[in-house]
Amino acid sequence: MNNQTLQQLRSRMDDLNIKLLDLLSERAAIGRQIGEIKQSEGLPLHDPARENEMLDRLAARNAGPLEEKAIRHLFQEIFKATLEVQQPKKKPLLVSRKSKREDTVIRIGNTEIGGADSVLVAGPCSVESLEQVMEVAAALKKAGVPVIRGGAFKPRTSPYDFQGLGFEGLKLLKEAADEYGLQTISEIVTPAHLEEAAKYVDIIQIGARNMQNFELLKAAGDMRKPVLLKRGLAATMDEFLHAAEYIVSRGNSQVMLIERGIRTYEKWTRNTLDISAVPLLKQMSHLPVLVDVSHSTGRKEIMAPCAKAALAAGADGIMVEVHPNPAAALSDADQQLNLGEFAEFIREVKSSGVYRQSAP
Ligand code: PEP
Ligand code: MN
């Protein structure tokens, strides 16, 4: 007898569940219509005062057996779910693979970044003199490195440290690059310098400290020049990709991402190379991904293994600092490879199985 009653009650409960579900769905559909009207009127979707009114009315009507607290809680959840239905579907970021499945390939001169072959970018931390950049450019040419880097506007921690040669530095970099048929890359720190810099620089670098300098990102987005965007000192993947979105959403689709180490508690390296960033960025985004083994590690003896790890993880290229006389360098003296170390670094990376090269 008891068993039969239980079955009957359960069956009524199942019917009520269905009725509740139908009512909730009907309520959500009305909520969606309200959301559309609110949006067209420019009204906020969330209206806490109206929610409180509805809760008070329900609480006043409640005759039990459910407690008022339970009623309020249940309806608050219903309101929350309705609000979610009202939110317009967010469009995927332009930099994401959801927007574009194929890899973005950036061409500068005869070099492709993000294509079939791995790419190497090298050069001094700062441009210091014509002789210095000429010597480095010659070493790059010999090693088959197509892109020379060199800072002219240096974002230094101390205002008393060498700040870079400015436009004069960019001219020297370009002179050396032209002499050896290389492409140039250099950091620009203010929108006001972009137009003039574009005469000398093939790829505009936006440094870690400026990853969220939104006016600079927007101005770079208005240009039609490739941009190398460095990950911020403590930037999450989401922040990094949104920074790239600032550039791409202005119509400049030629953006490369570069992992340059993040700040952690570890002191044995200058920063912590976040190798997981490489496959994550490659999976989430169609933009080329590079790894800067100099600023991430700050240690010469682990740069080659880290470069190989980066390529094995799917990086499209590697950036490394090289200086003819690192001990006398005006910035980052400790981490720059000398020309001999550089030649060995390139040999080791290029001869590894993870370096992709279709033609020798
Ligand atoms: C640089 O590459 O010259 C530089 C300053 O690096 P970061 O912005 O990654 O510190
Ligand atoms: Mn440096």
For residue 151 and ligand 1, the question of a CB distance below 6 A is answered with yes
- The answer to whether residue 200 sits within a structural domain is yes
Q: Is residue 119 located within the same domain as residue 204?
A: yes
- The answer to whether residue 101 sits within a structural domain is no
* Listed residues 20, 55, 86: the one ending a domain: 86
Mutate which of 153, 292, 319 for ligand 1? The one with the most ligand atoms within 8 Å of its CB, which is 292
CB 191 within 8 A of CB 216: yes
CB 130 within 8 A of CB 182: no
Q: Is residue 19 located within the same domain as residue 135?
A: no
261-272 mean pLDDT? 98
Distance from the alpha carbon of residue 13 to the mean position of ligand 2, in angstroms = 69
Q: Is residue 46 located within the same domain as residue 188?
A: no
**Strands 317-321, 119-123: pairing kind:** parallel
Total residue length of the chain: 360
- The answer to whether residue 124 sits within a structural domain is yes
User: What are the E-state strand segments in the chain?
Assistant: 106-108, 111-113, 119-123, 147-149, 183-187, 203-206, 227-230, 255-259, 289-292, 317-321
Q: Is residue 210 located within the same domain as residue 344?
A: yes
For residue 244 and ligand 1, the question of a CB distance below 6 A is answered with no
Query: What number does the ligand 1 atom closest to the CA of 260 have?
Result: 9
Nearest residue (by CA) to ligand 1, atom 10, is 208
ipTM of this complex prediction, to 2 decimal places: 0.99
For residue 235 and ligand 1, the question of a CB distance below 6 A is answered with no
For residue 270 and ligand 1, the question of a CB distance below 6 A is answered with no
- The answer to whether residue 358 sits within a structural domain is no
CA angle 89, 91, 95 (to 5 degrees): 155
Q: Is residue 116 located within the same domain as residue 237?
A: yes
CA angle 290, 278, 105 (to 5 degrees): 50
What domain range includes position 248?
Answer: 106-351
pLDDT score at 83:
93
Give per-residue pLDDT as tens, 160-180. 999 999 999 999 999 999 999
Instruction: Report residue 4's pLDDT band, with 50, 70 and 90 as the boundaries.
Output: confident
Mutate which of 153, 203, 230 for ligand 1? The one with the most ligand atoms within 8 Å of its CB, which is 230
Q: Is residue 304 located within the same domain as residue 195?
A: yes
Instruction: Report residue 93's pLDDT band, with 50, 70 and 90 as the boundaries.
Output: very high
pLDDT score at 6:
94
Q: Is residue 296 located within the same domain as residue 260?
A: yes
- The answer to whether residue 356 sits within a structural domain is no
* Listed residues 86, 121, 140: the one ending a domain: 86
Classify residue 222 by its DSSP letter: T
How many C-beta neighbours within 10 Å does residue 107 have? 12
CATH number for the domain spanning 18: value is 1.20.59.10
For residue 208 and ligand 1, the question of a CB distance below 6 A is answered with yes
- Gyration radius from the chain CA atoms: 29
Q: Is residue 168 located within the same domain as residue 118?
A: yes
- The answer to whether residue 187 sits within a structural domain is yes
CB 71 within 8 A of CB 59: yes
CB 202 within 8 A of CB 108: yes
Instruction: Report residue 2's pLDDT band, with 50, 70 and 90 as the boundaries.
Output: confident
87 or 175: which leads in pLDDT: 175
Q: Which residues are CB-neighbours of 199 under 8 A, at least 6 positions away?
A: 174
319-324 mean pLDDT? 98
- The answer to whether residue 360 sits within a structural domain is no
Round to whole Å and give the CA distance between 127 and 259.
22
- The answer to whether residue 57 sits within a structural domain is yes
Could you tell me what percent of the chain has a pLDDT over 70? Answer: 99
Distance from the alpha carbon of residue 359 to the mean position of ligand 2, in angstroms = 31
For residue 295 and ligand 1, the question of a CB distance below 6 A is answered with yes
Q: Which residues are CB-neighbours of 62 under 8 A, at least 6 positions away?
A: 68, 71
Q: Is residue 258 located within the same domain as residue 297?
A: yes
Q: Is residue 293 located within the same domain as residue 144?
A: yes
pLDDT score at 284:
98
**Strands 106-108, 111-113: pairing kind:** antiparallel
Report whether pLDDT(1) > 70. Answer: no
Give per-residue pLDDT as tens, 192-230. 999 999 999 999 999 999 999 999 999 999 999 999 999
Q: Which residues are CB-neighbours of 151 under 8 A, at least 6 positions away?
A: 124, 125, 126, 127, 164, 169, 186, 187, 331
For residue 187 and ligand 1, the question of a CB distance below 6 A is answered with yes
The interaxial angle of helices 130-143 and 339-351, nearest 10 deg, is 30
Distance from the alpha carbon of residue 43 to the mean position of ligand 2, in angstroms = 49
CB 295 within 8 A of CB 334: no
pTM of the model: 0.83
CATH number for the domain spanning 313: value is 3.20.20.70
Number of domains in the chain: 2
Q: Is residue 70 located within the same domain as residue 175?
A: no
Give per-residue pLDDT as tens, 26-81. 999 999 999 999 989 999 999 999 999 999 999 999 999 999 999 999 999 999 99
Instruction: Report residue 360's pLDDT band, with 50, 70 and 90 as the boundaries.
Output: low
Q: Is residue 125 located within the same domain as residue 158?
A: yes
Distance from the alpha carbon of residue 113 to the mean position of ligand 1, in angstroms = 19
